[in-house]
Amino acid sequence: MKFFHNPRCSKSRQTLELLTEQGIKPAIVEYLITPPSKEELQSILDKLGITPRALMRQGQAEYKDNNLNDPALSNEQLIQAMIDNPILIERPILITKNKAAIGRPPKLVLDIL
């Protein structure tokens, strides 16, 4: 299992604590330091069953500053924006072999275990 984590995010910390309480020790990826590749991000989107825009933190300044609300932008352009600005990626995300879940609220990650 892989856990996309931002230690400064309370939901991310709460989700990691919940996993630890369950005896689960996923590989932790601080995605702001080590952003996912294009292929990895596409795989996450596929496992979540959502579009790139649905994975984006639309309240971030980077979202507004880069006009990412433009409906003409392709999925590929939105994925590239998340790679270039990983702060845009919603967090936390737990990834198993075939599934993924966003920990908002934290207990949602338990659904894929």
> Measured in whole angstroms, how far is the alpha carbon of residue 68 from the centre of its chain?
17
Measured CA to CA, the distance from residue 31 to residue 51 in angstroms comes to 19
- The catalytic position among 9, 48, 83, 112 is 9
DSSP for 8-44, please give it: T-HHHHHHHHHHHHTT--PEEEETTTSPPPHHHHHHH
21 carries an active-site annotation: no
Sequence-separated (6 or more) residues with CB below 8 Å from residue 98 = 47
List, by residue number, the catalytic residues: 9
